[in-house]
Amino acid sequence: MLWVARMSSFFSAAMVMVVLSPSLQSFPPAEAIRSSQFDGSVRFPGQIAGGARGIAFRRAPPFRNAADCGAGNGTAANVCDPSLVHIAITLDEEYLRGSVAAVHSVVQHARCPESVFFHFLVSDPGLGDLVRAVFPQLRFKVYYFDPDRVRGLISTSVRQALEQPLNYARNYLADLLEPCVRRVIYLDSDLVLVDDVAKLWRTDLGGRTVGAPEYCHANFTKYFTARFWSEQRFAGTFAGRRPCYFNTGVMVLDLERWRQAGYTQRIERWMEIQKSPPGRIYELGSLPPFLLVFAGHVAPIEHRWNQHGLGGDNVLGSCRDLHPGPVSLLHWSGSGKPWARLGAGRPCPLDALWAPFDLYGPAGAAAAEESR
């Protein structure tokens, strides 16, 4: 009975959020539930990073462009097609379940899903086979990111996940993606969309290189050490700017401007300074170098496009509520991930909004299902 009461509270809280959010209202629970009915299951039997075997995901349901989108050109479409919406996301074993759910949420809510092109950044090229098996219609390309390219620049952080080389692949999108790709949306693996990604794609950057929701009331100074603020050569970096915190898990990037300005090299320079004596100038992982280069020069995007922090803080991962206002994207940044909490039987109320996009099914369960 305790379990029943807990789950009743769990889904009731999630339904309240759906009622309160105008954006979520346009995608009612029935639509999300339909997305969890699949036509089969696929396994990824080969050994992948970490030695895991038998990773099983259910095949996603088919998706089609709306009538006013055009027919689409199939999975072999040219990456340089100017009509495409480009999305970059990383794939690794630890966050694979989240990445697959994120992709599923995008195609389920896009009006023109066949016009979305995914750029997957991997350190294990074999993961592309899994994507093709789960999403047979998906238009995508896999890009290998060499961990050694950044390993020597990474400093310790509050969470080991923030120290993984692939977490820094976003710094190199302008180098990795084709020159014809002039704009890309970067998405973290621990989020789901509940709105049409084309709306985010059409963001006017106003001549800026990075667009993201800004949070100017956040304590910006905490991301940098006492050494940083005590030395004018560092603290003066923000002179003449009004720097605000922004989360790098959801960004619209003008890659053409990025390439022209050499921003990858600027980010790497700050990472080199962080690693050099006499000590650290910032805390956390890949975020502070972005703040140093771009804070105060970010094109603001509506907060609805990054309801972040749902994973709690970086240590405890406690349950969080949504920020006030409409919701187009739910982001479980922080240490608590919905797939881990659901798997452990200790979900937070908002994890119910992630669950309908989860395509993961343990190999044993998939086999049992097939034997019926």
Q: What is the pLDDT along the chain (372 residues), one digit of tens a residue?
A: 444 344 444 444 444 344 334 445 433 332 322 233 333 445 544 433 333 445 689 999 999 999 999 766 555 569 999 999 999 999 999 999 999 999 999 999 999 999 999 999 999 988 999 999 999 999 999 999 999 999 989 877 545 656 789 999 999 999 999 999 999 999 999 999 999 999 999 999 999 999 999 999 988 899 999 999 999 999 999 999 999 999 999 999 999 999 999 999 999 999 999 988 888 999 877 899 999 999 999 999 999 999 999 998 756 768 999 888 999 999 999 889 999 999 999 999 999 999 999 999 854 443 343 344
SS3 301: coil
* Domain 81-357 fold: Spore Coat Polysaccharide Biosynthesis Protein SpsA; Chain A (3.90.550)
Q: Tell me, what's the pLDDT at 141? A: 96
Q: Taking the domains of the chain in order of start, what are their residue ranges? A: 81-357
Q: Tell me, what's the pLDDT at 168? A: 95
Q: Tell me, what's the pLDDT at 1? A: 41
> Counting Cβ atoms within 10 Å, is residue 255 exposed (0-12), middle (13-18) or buried (19+)?
buried
d(CA 134, CA 140) in angstroms, rounded, equals 12
Q: Tell me, what's the pLDDT at 149? A: 93
- Reference 121, options 82, 72, 174, 55; nearest CA is 174
pTM, rounded to two decimals: 0.84
Q: Which amino acid is at 215?
A: Y
Strands (E), the chain: 41-44, 55-58, 85-91, 116-122, 139-144, 183-187, 191-193, 210-212, 214-215, 245-246, 250-254, 298-300, 329-331
Helix/strand number for the chain, H first, E second:
14, 13
3-state secondary structure string across 239-263: CCCCCCEECCCEEEEEHHHHHHHCH
C-alpha distance from residue 217 to each of 46, 192, 221, 243, 313 (Å): 47, 25, 11, 11, 17
Q: How many residues does the chain have?
A: 372
d(CA 213, CA 233) in angstroms, rounded, equals 28
